[in-house]
Amino acid sequence: TVDRKTVHLLDYVAGNIRSLVNAIEKCGWKIEWIRKPEDVKNADKIILPGVGHFGHCLTSLSDAGYLPVIKEHIEAGKPFFGICVGQQALFASSVEAPGVQGLGLIPSQLERFNPTATGDATKPKKSVPCIGWNSASTVHHHQEADGTRKSFYGLSETSKYYYVHSYFTPYVPGLLEKDGWTVATATYGTETYVGAVGRGNVFATQFHPEKSGAAGLRVIKAFLEGQAFSTPTTSSTTNGTVTSKDSTHGLTRRIIACLDVRTNDAGDLVVTKGDQYDVREKSSTNDVRNLGKPVEMAKRYYEQGADEVTFLNITSFRDLPISDLPMLEILRRTSEEVFVPLTIGGGIRDMTDPGTGKTVRALDVAKMYFASGADKVSIGSDAVLAAEEFWKRGGKGDGTSGIETISAAYGRQAVVVSVDPKKVFVKTGEEAQSHHFIKTAEPSEDGRTLCWYACTIKGGRETRDLDVVQLVKAVEAMGAGEILLNAIDRDGSNRGYDLELIRQVKAAVGIPVIASSGAGVPKHFEEVFRETDVDAALGAGMFHRGEYKVSQVKEHLAEQGLLVRPYEE
């Protein structure tokens, strides 16, 4: 017999579903795994997660014999919840994988976002994949006799939810409704699509409720407790006065808190922060600067409203025994309490385990991080080396790099490339040779006004003959889904972001770019969002030193009319 508070979870790909498990447990429910099609028969409630590629997910489900039993489960009227590609599975097909069939409960096809459908003459393109916090607005509300609106699976008009996808089901007014579906929508540029959909025992979200903070946990809870339509509760309070003067719909400005982590001289893992990547105190002790404990700080930033948290293991260029990768425990503990996306970087590459002498592939390292609660991995040094090889081969990958293998297995959206560029001044364009140079408004002391940005590896210790444009173009082609753009000259300087660098990189790629390095005051975030088309902005030192809270940055942006996600508890 099934415990009343048990939900069955389908684990059919090597998914990064640790966070979903944590979110369900946070709601007070237990998980049973469905490991074979027969297990579906014993299940009452089923959740079907899905990440990555529609074709890969649906083919795996089909090959393992799950599609007919899922259909039976749904036809028997038992609760079903599909998340992300799990929602997409309800549809007939996707342009992502022509010829692969979905469950076909809804006879529509998924399209790919059109980068030029921005609806804003000043913005020529929008990033794909679409990564960030957006609405899920219920189109037709169910109402009580007295006219009170019912909430659809706990969704709230003022809440924001975390989406990450390149494919979507266009919303056609009335089309799904005529078949009895209730629909909640989101809009990206001019494209309005199905963010959540439900009918009877079936519910699905394109967004990740397990990564959508308190708002997302309410949605999971509503499904678990069978509350398809309920009277909205007032328990969801939003903190601060984060309101916006511009429309409340669409993608919000994404604010990321970054924690550089390393072992200090006493062997403890600490959050540190450098100036131009030098993390040692300038005092006679020359100790590693210790700014706090990683898990505690991640939780604090989550509670301040950070939209994502990134951990960078900054000493990962050393080979560590795979058995004690220090960040695994940090991720495990953080992901139990922090319900926004977690990125982990540092040491994602093929390596030799000094303990066993065996080679461990980048994909296997990433797998361990995903299993411990990471949603994305960030690749630094290895991406530079892979990009160099890519250009040596005449602009081709060979399928073996960490970027290629991880994005093939987990999807492009799970692979971030972290770039550590350094400015190189030149007198003339010829001196820059094949490198992409710009004219800078901040010339060098000796008056040189042209510069290019050289990629570095090993935390800036080694500069390579590859510029940042060459790097980002190569990694996008190999399957990276996002660029985390640091700037060594700006790091820890509190001078604001390097807008010239950000513009150069944004113009070179179609995937989202995160601005990093140099934020010192909330105004710097406003500046980078206004003066560039950057997709997200990251801060470290100003938060760690306690000068500003993440919530103050968001309040400032909202006051200036930029849309942000309200923090909810």
**Residue numbers at the binding site for ligand 1PR (CB under 6 A):** 258, 260, 273-274, 277, 279, 312, 314, 316-317, 345-348, 378-382, 418, 420, 459, 486, 491-492, 516-519, 539-541
Supply the minimum distance, in Å, between the C-beta of residue 422 and ligand 1PR. Answer: 12
Q: Which is nearer to ligand 1PR, 26 or 495 (CB)?
A: 495
Catalytic residue (choose from 307, 336, 375, 420): 420
How many Cα atoms within 13 Å fall on the side-chain side of residue 316? 27
Its sign, for the CA torsion 504, 442, 433, 468, is negative
Annotated catalytic residue within 165, 208, 524, 544: 208
Q: Which is nearer to ligand 1PR, 154 or 541 (CB)?
A: 541
DSSP 179-235: GT-EEEEEEETTEEEEEEEEETTEEEESS-GGGSHHHHHHHHHHHHTT-SEEPPPS-
8, 57, 73, 210: the catalytic one is 210
Q: Which strands make up the sheet holding 137-138, listed edge to edge?
A: 30-34, 6-10, 46-48, 80-83, 202-205, 191-199, 182-188, 137-138
Beta-ladder partners of 288: 280
Q: CB 345 → ligand 1PR: shortest distance, Å? A: 4
CB of 331 to ligand 1PR, least distance (A): 15
To the query of whether residue 258 is one of the catalytic residues in this protein, the response is: no
Nearer to ligand 1PR, 166 or 381 (CB): 381
In sequence order, which residues have a C-beta less than 8 Å from that of residue 271 and are 6 or more positions away?
259, 260, 261, 290, 291, 292, 293, 294, 297, 544
CB of 462 to ligand 1PR, least distance (A): 10
- The CB-nearest residue to ligand 1PR is 459
> Contact 412/509 with Cβ under 8 angstroms?
no
The tokens describing 381, both together, are: 């040094």
In Å, how far are 57, 69, 120, 213, 325 from 564, measured between CA atoms?
32, 42, 19, 14, 35
Q: Across the strands, what pairs with 437?
A: 452
84, 130, 258, 451: the catalytic one is: 84
Kindly tell me which of 129 and 346 has the beta carbon lying closer to ligand 1PR: 346
- With a CB cutoff of 8 Å and minimum separation 6, the contacts of 71 are 103
Cis, bond preceding 129 (omega within 30 deg of 0):
yes
Query: Active-site residue among 96, 260, 467, 498?
Result: 260
Cβ distance to ligand 1PR smaller for residue 348 or 562 = 348
Tell the smallest beta-carbon distance from residue 186 to ligand 1PR (Å). Answer: 30
What is the helix (H) or strand (E) element at residue 360, kind and residue range?
Answer: strand 359-360
Task: Give the strand pairing for 359-360 and 351-352.
Answer: antiparallel
For ligand 1PR, the closer of residues 224 and 344 by Cβ is: 344
Nearest residue (CB) to ligand 1PR, 20 versus 538: 538
CB of 139 vs ligand 1PR, minimal distance in Å: 40
Residue 84 appears among annotated catalytic residues: yes
Annotated active-site residue 544? The verdict is: no
| CB of residue 258 to ligand 1PR, shortest distance in Å | 4
Catalytic residue IDs: 84, 208, 210, 260, 420
